[in-house]
Amino acid sequence: MTASKKERMVKRSIPWSLHMAIVRLQGEEELDYREACARAAVLIEVNGSEFEVAVRVEANRLYKSRFLGEVNKAKNTWMRKGYDDGKRDGKAEGFLIASEDFLIRYPCSACGLDVILRPGNPDTEAAVEFLKSRGWGHPGCMGASSA
């Protein structure tokens, strides 16, 4: 299998500065030797059409990369904000619904402001004991015991 004329490697002495430029290209762009030589050839032909195409392609790649990076950053920021807003609003709405369904409050006999009964609170335990001592229970249970 023979390589085409474009792909053949010619082994000859090259100036040290050209060799070092190729080595730098290898390191900077993570290329193997053959790819670095091809890239160097394009760079040497600064006024050639292949160079112009390569510059346009690279500029377009960088633009797209940066643009997509900024788009993704903005998208993540808005998604996080939406998540945080939804969590905050959902928590507030859930608390309101739960408090309407489960919170027991009664007006204070002294000041008239609401007294809220919360689980584990001594006031709540006292209220439970008071209700039990007065015979409070389920309406169905209370009706069955009096019959």
What pLDDT, in 10s, does the model give residues 56-99? 888 888 888 888 889 999 999 999 999 999 999 999 898 888 87
| Predicted confidence (pLDDT) at residue 1 exceeds the cutoff of 50 | no
C-alpha distances in Å from residue 137, one per residue of 31, 126, 141, 144? 83, 16, 7, 11
Residues 54 and 94 in one domain: yes
Specify if 7 maps to a domain: no
68 in a domain, yes or no?
yes
Q: Is residue 142 situated within a structural domain?
A: no
Q: Is residue 23 part of a domain?
A: yes
Domain that holds residue 57: 48-102
In the block, tokens 């792909």 appear at: 7
54 and 95 inside one domain: yes
